[in-house]
Structure 1
Amino acid sequence: MQQHKVLLLAIASVLLAMVTIQSGASIAKQLFPVIGPEGTTALRVGFSALMLWLVFRPWRHLPKGRNWRAVIVYGLCLGGMNLLFYLAIARIPLGIGVALEFTGPLAVALFSSRRRLDLLWVALALGGILLLLPDMRSVDALDPIGVLFALAAGACWAGYILFGQRAGNLASGGTTVALGMTVAACFLVPIGVFNAGSALLSFEVIPLAIAVAALSSALPYSLEMVALKNLSAQSFSVLMSLEPAIAALAGFILLSELLTFTQWLAILLVMAASLGSTLSTQKKPAAAS
């Protein structure tokens, strides 16, 4: 019974983490008319870095010498992922942005394997992307620049995963995230100041920015740590496959973003590709033993 409760708590933690992340993105999108995506990213990353330093106190385990290289590249990928994603959802619906961005980690999983079954997941993912690509003849066509920003954010997400693994081997997960977020803040905050100026210090903006930082970084990272201690990597990845749908629902509830049937189908194809890739990848070691 106790183990059952722990499992339910872990699953609830993952789901709540995804809800908070997409809720934070929805709030962030409401800041775009005031300070733009660049200013919103700067405040989110800046406040997130402060929160993570207070929680994880990374100054106790700073990398040395060449080890900083992996941390810096990881931080650049982290910052690029955040900025490009916000630039994307300023132009396209939140759920579609997340689905397109999801192609980054999906590509990492698929390129690491050489099995024929993976061709199916590639086909599903490509099918979803093709359905989301802008049809310039349609009045309701997606902004092509927004689509490109989302795909670029996915590429940064792939780099975030690859270099995050290297940087994570140098220190604890919390320390790595705090240092990576600090690197991201070092180049994103000046960009935000340049684009938004004194509007970043508005009394209307600061409370929302703190909420975005907490919902998008501090709280979900803590919840995911709880989950990872009690869930297998496979179970965690399967649950994460729900994120595009949760993002679409958050966009509908908080931003009144309506998606067409085709767009929902595209999101489901990307989710199916992620789910199938996760399950088949995890089964491979078991079959070989």
Structure 2
Amino acid sequence: MALMLVSGLSNQTGASIAALAFPVLGPVGVVAVRQWVAAVVLGAVGRPRLRHFTTAQWRPVLGLALVFAAMNLSLYAAIERIGLGLAVTLEFLGPLAVALAGSRRRVDLVAAVAAAAAVVVLTRPTPSTDYLGISLALLAAACWACYILLNRTVGARLPGLEGSAAAAAVSGALYLPVGVWVLWHHPPTATALGCALAAGVLSSAVPFLADLLALRRIPAHFFGVFMSVNPVFAALAGLTLLGQQLDALAWLAIAMIVGANTVAVSTAHRPTTHRSTT
């Protein structure tokens, strides 16, 4: 329990700290630094033998690398526009969709209807509704769903963490040109660079290691249920560190989506895939 608490709080605290660097580096610059940190961490742990990969192994790895790159960028861009709590909550629709796909159980239908109603509440039109931010968060959700499906294929074709490590390395390499360009044209302050590096450590290294240790001690379905409270952690981190206020309806919608995720994961009869922290 303590390891999962550390993982969730570290991940969302890292995301909120990353937002502090947006005015200087922008989401692209922060994501680039985070991807480089993730590549180093996963590379050291997974130690992928790239020269031994076959074409059939490289295909899903490259797909996973593109998903890594798009997921983090779309999420951070959404955080900049609509806030941490709402962005992470909408992103959680990705694993929920995977959990509910193809299910004909009544409980899953109820969970899907509840999640859909919560999305309507979160995206309700107001004079200041940021539809681009909402769309970016939904893109992150789609990327997360693709990550789950691709990660299953990568896990089946490559041993251990080699596939994830290789995908993180490729994703980090993809961000080299744009990351260097951003850092060159927007020289980072020491504070902004420190925030970006801290985000990489808190949102990649710490959760990855904590999740790895936790999954050795608890059932995967319990881990999946606990992961569902991340939107709450995100909303609290956004409130305490960034001053991002949510109204009562937004909190109710977050609770509904967390509940839908919890029901779908805890009652599923198939293995649950946890999120990568890259």
TM-score, length of structure 2 as denominator length: 0.91
CA RMSD of aligned residues (A): 2.0
1:154 aligns with 2:141: yes
Residues 206-241 of structure 1: CA deviation (Å, up to 9, x unaligned):
332221111111110110011111111211111111
Q: How does 1:95-174 map to 2 (within 5 A)?
A: 95-136=85-126, 138=127, 141-174=128-161
| Aligned pairs (5 A) from 1:194-213 | 194-199=181-186, 202-213=189-200
| 1:114 counterpart SS class | coil
The residue that corresponds to 1:3 in the other structure is: none
Name stretches of at least 5 consecutive residues in structure 1 with no aligned partner.
1-10, 285-289
Shift of 1:254: 0.9
Within 2, Cα distance between the matches of 1:149 and 1:89? 9
What is the match of residue 246 of structure 1? 233
Q: Is it true that 1:215 corresponds to 2:206 in the alignment? A: no
Residue ranges of structure 2 left out of the alignment (5+ in a row): 272-278
Equivalent position to 1:236, from 223, 234, 237: 223
Q: Is the 8 A contact 1:81 1:156 kept in 2?
A: yes
Change in Cα spacing, 1:28 to 1:118, as seen in structure 2 (3 Å) is: same
Q: Is the 8 A contact 1:73 1:163 kept in 2?
A: yes
Deviates more, 1:179-188 or 1:54-63: 54-63
- For 2:153, what is the secondary structure of its paired residue? helix
Shift, 1:184, TM fit? 1.5
SS at match of 2:216: helix
Alignment of 1:75-86 (within 5 A): 75-86=65-76
CA contact (8 A) 1:43 1:189 kept: no
> Structure 2: which amino acid aligns with 1:35?
L
Residue identity matched to 1:21: N
Is 1:50 the counterpart of 2:37? The answer is no
Normalised by the length of structure 1, the TM-score is 0.88
Between the aligned residues of both structures, percent identity stands at 37
Structure 1 distance, partners of 2:92, 2:86, is: 10
Q: 1:108·1:158 contact (CA, 8 Å) conserved in 2? A: yes
Q: Secondary structure at the match of 1:46?
A: helix
SS at match of 2:103: coil
Q: 2:19 touches 2:80 (CA, 8 Å); kept in 1?
A: yes
Are the counterparts in 1 of residues 46 and 160 from structure 2 also a CA contact under 8 Å? no
Q: Does 1:65 align with 2:61?
A: no
- Greater C-alpha Rg: 1
1:48-91 CA distance string (max 9 Å, x none): 21222223322378522221001110111111110000010000
| 2:178 alignment partner in structure 1 | 191
Secondary structure at the aligned position of 1:58 is classed as coil
User: Aligned letter for 2:175?
Assistant: L
8 Å CA contact 2:78–2:87 kept in 1: the answer is: yes
Mark the CA change 1:158 to 1:72 in structure 2 (over 3 Å): closer, same or farther.
same
Shift of 1:198: 4.3
Q: Distance in 2 between matches of 1:40 and 1:119?
A: 38
Residue of structure 1 equivalent to 2:15: 25
Instruction: Report how far residue 118 of structure 1 moved.
Output: 1.3
Give the distance between the partners of 1:263 and 1:77, measured in 2 at CA.
28
Aligned to 1:91: 81
Matches of 1:171 and 1:185 in 2, distance apart?
20
